[in-house]
């Protein structure tokens, strides 16, 4: 049977991808950010999954114009890195695990999640920057990736509570897949940031650190945070944190926190990162 | 279980210096955003750079939206329905960093904004709510 063995959360700032692609990770500005990822790069060598379900948001690269899905599952054989206005990132093509993706797609609908399937799309920094942070710069990504895109752009976004339930549904879907697969769920985006208006540059380290404090062992505290509270406390783009809840819920009751990291800033954003192993 | 997630969407207008992107804005900016997403190809970026006005005239944007693109007035474009995830493609076409683009709305110079971020960012204190002034 397939099992969810671990979860990773990380911010997915585009400038982090650019720093990797342009060989600037040792620059004075960037080195303290990348130091926070040394642990996961070592850890993943012994914990390489067969499949990552990668929860992210599309930044108006493939979605959000003609079709605005609340939850959408990537359902092509492969996904190219998107050209977001400066050319495609020089990173490998992302390959899907279609059998597991199909199983999840069916089980989610049965479980009351009316998920959208996307048969063709490119994947932007929201998906590729986390892969780069964890796996570095390989010729090919070492695992299959199922993209799960969440609308955090057009309000109302799904609630944190709804995201939590999606994580639980994902867990049930994976557990009922008959093939023996080691699956990780990654939640990406956040932490606090706002990319518009005169409040641009907002960072709320107190909120972010409390979020990290509670996520491993007291996540119930977090799932009822409302959209308006995310907006007020963490900025219009800080609400991406609801995607961390999907990851946490997918891991089940008990987790062991292997690593945590928090750093301000990367470009406009507070960078947060955790690594959990499932214990239930 | 109290349904704590429910609240009036009007509350979204209560956050200082912030315009929340909602369904009606999404439609109001549809053609502007179609233009922004067209900049995801090098051919289109080259055509836009060669003659910005002629390129914008291919899209059914309002004249006000076109003028704001020509002026690179991101504050105005957001007022006219735009969302930063679309608009940043204009900045990328210009070779601006996302930080420089964002700073242009902040009322600070790019250098002042960059320094503020290095110093820990903008505190939410006093910027959470217009009515509560907290």
Q: Contact, A9 vs A246, CB < 8 A?
A: no
pLDDT digit string, tens, across residues A135-184? 999 999 999 999 999 999 999 999 999 999 999 999 999 999 999 999 99
CATH architecture of B21-95: Orthogonal Bundle (1.10)
Q: Can you give the length of chain B in residues?
A: 134
Task: Please determine, for residue B4, whether its predicted confidence score (pLDDT) is greater than 60.
Answer: no
Task: Please determine, for residue A201, whether its predicted confidence score (pLDDT) is greater than 60.
Answer: yes
Element holding A46 (H helix, E strand): helix A38-46
Distance (Å, rounded) from C-alpha A56 to C-alpha A52?
Answer: 12
Comparing alpha-carbon positions, the chain B residue that sits nearest to A58 is: B85
- Helix axis angle, A98-110 relative to A160-175, nearest 10°? 120
pLDDT digit string, tens, across residues A34-82? 999 999 999 999 999 999 999 999 999 999 999 999 999 999 999 999 9
Domain ranges of chain B: 21-95
Which of 48-107 (A) contact B at CB < 8 A?
A: 59-61, 64-65, 68, 82-87
Q: Identify any residues that bridge with A146 across adjacent strands, giving them in sequence order.
A: A53
Element holding A275 (H helix, E strand): strand A269-278
**CA dist A258 to A11, A40, A43, A277, Å?**
17, 9, 9, 7
> Mean pLDDT of all residues in chain B?
94
The confidence band for A280, taking pLDDT boundaries of 50, 70 and 90, is confident
A220-234: string of b/e by CB count within 10 Å (b at 16+)? Answer: eebbebbbbbbbbbb
The confidence band for B9, taking pLDDT boundaries of 50, 70 and 90, is confident
Q: Tokens for B54, please give them.
A: 């002629």
Point out the residue among A14, A61, A226 whose CB comes nearest to the CB of B4. A226
Q: Tokens 């690593």 label which residue?
A: A259
Please tell me which residue in A12, A59, A125, A273 is annotated as part of the active site: A125
Strands A182-188 and A3-10 come out as parallel
Q: Using alpha carbons only, give the angle B74, B77, B79 rounded to the nearest 5 degrees.
A: 110
**CA dist A141 to A55, A133, B84, Å?**
17, 12, 30
Domains defined along chain A, listed by start: 3-278 (3.40.830.10)
Please tell me which residue in A12, A103, A193, A273 is annotated as part of the active site: A193
Distance (Å, rounded) from C-alpha A19 to C-alpha A267?
Answer: 11
The model carries a pTM of: 0.97
**CA dist A213 to A37, A168, A222, Å?**
18, 21, 10
Which of 23-52 (A) contact B at CB < 8 A?
A: none
Size of interface A-B (CB pairs under 8 A): 166
HEC per residue, B77-122? HHHCCCCHHHHHHHHHHCCCCHHHHHHCCCCCCHHHHHHHHHCCCE
**CA dist B41 to B46, B61, B93, Å?**
9, 20, 10
Taking the CA of residue B57 and the nearest CA in chain A, the distance in Å comes to 19
Residue A151's SS3 state is coil
Instruction: Tell whether the torsion through CA atoms of A172, A166, A226 and A236 is positive or negative.
Output: positive
Task: Please determine, for residue B118, whether its predicted confidence score (pLDDT) is greater than 80.
Answer: yes
Taking the CA of residue B103 and the nearest CA in chain A, the distance in Å comes to 7
Distance (Å, rounded) from C-alpha A174 to C-alpha A106?
Answer: 11
Phi, psi dihedrals of residue B9, rounded to the nearest 5°: -65, -15
- Please confirm, yes or no, whether A193 is among the known catalytic residues: yes
HEC per residue, A161-214? HHHHHHHHHHHHHHHCCCCCCEEEEEEECCCCCCCCCCCCCECCHHHHHHHHHH
pLDDT digit string, tens, across residues A103-133? 999 999 999 999 999 999 999 999 999 999 9
The confidence band for A247, taking pLDDT boundaries of 50, 70 and 90, is very high
pLDDT digit string, tens, across residues A89-109? 999 999 999 999 999 999 999
The confidence band for B117, taking pLDDT boundaries of 50, 70 and 90, is very high
Q: Tokens for B126, please give them.
A: 């006093």
Q: Tokens for A89, please give them.
A: 């990132």
Q: What is the pLDDT of residue B2?
A: 52
Of the candidates A21, A11, A116, A53, the one whose C-alpha atom is nearest the C-alpha of residue A246 is: A53
Q: What is the pLDDT of residue A223?
A: 95
- Please confirm, yes or no, whether A125 is among the known catalytic residues: yes
């Amino acid at each position: 049977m397939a099992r969810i063995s671990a979860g990773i959360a990380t911010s997915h700032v585009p400038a982090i991808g650019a720093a990797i692609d342009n060989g600037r990770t040792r620059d004075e500005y960037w080195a303290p950010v990348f130091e926070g990822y040394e642990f996961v790069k070592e850890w993943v060598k012994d914990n390489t999954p067969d499949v990552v379900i990668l929860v992210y948001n599309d930044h108006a690269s493939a979605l959000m114009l003609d079709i605005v899905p609340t939850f959408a599952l990537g359902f092509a054989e492969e996904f190219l890195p998107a050209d977001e206005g400066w050319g495609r990132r020089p990173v490998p093509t992302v390959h899907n695990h279609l059998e597991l993706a199909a199983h999840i797609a069916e089980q989610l609908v049965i479980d009351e999640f009316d998920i959208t399937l996307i048969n063709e799309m490119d994947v932007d920094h929201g998906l590729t920057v986390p892969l780069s942070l964890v796996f570095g710069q390989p010729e090919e990504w070492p695992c299959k990736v199922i993209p799960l895109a969440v609308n955090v752009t057009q309000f109302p976004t799904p609630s944190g509570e709804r995201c939590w339930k999606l994580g639980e549904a994902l867990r049930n879907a994976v557990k009922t897949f008959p093939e023996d697969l080691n699956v990780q769920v990654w939640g990406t985006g956040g932490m606090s940031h706002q990319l518009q208006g005169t409040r641009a540059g907002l960072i709320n380290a107190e909120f972010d650190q409390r979020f990290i404090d509670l996520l491993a062992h007291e996540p119930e505290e977090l799932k009822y945070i409302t959209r308006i509270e995310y907006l007020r406390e963490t900025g219009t783009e800080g609400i991406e944190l609801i995607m961390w809840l999907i990851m946490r819920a997918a891991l089940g009751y008990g987790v062991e926190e292997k690593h945590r990291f928090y750093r301000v800033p990367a470009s406009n954003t507070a960078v947060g990162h955790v690594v959990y192993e499932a214990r239930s | 279980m109290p349904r704590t997630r429910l609240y009036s969407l009007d509350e979204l207008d209560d956050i200082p210096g912030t315009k929340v992107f909602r369904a009606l804005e999404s439609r109001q900016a549809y053609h502007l955003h179609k233009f922004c997403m067209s900049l995801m190809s090098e051919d289109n970026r080259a055509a836009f750079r060669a003659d910005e006005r002629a390129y914008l005239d291919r899209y059914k944007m309002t004249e006000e939206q076109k003028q704001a693109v020509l002026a690179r007035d991101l504050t105005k474009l957001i007022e006219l329905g735009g969302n930063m995830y679309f608009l940043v493609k204009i900045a990328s076409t210009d070779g601006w960093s996302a930080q420089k683009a964002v700073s242009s709305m902040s009322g600070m110079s790019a250098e002042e904004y960059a320094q503020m971020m290095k110093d820990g960012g903008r505190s939410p204190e006093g910027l959470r709510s217009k009515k509560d002034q907290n």
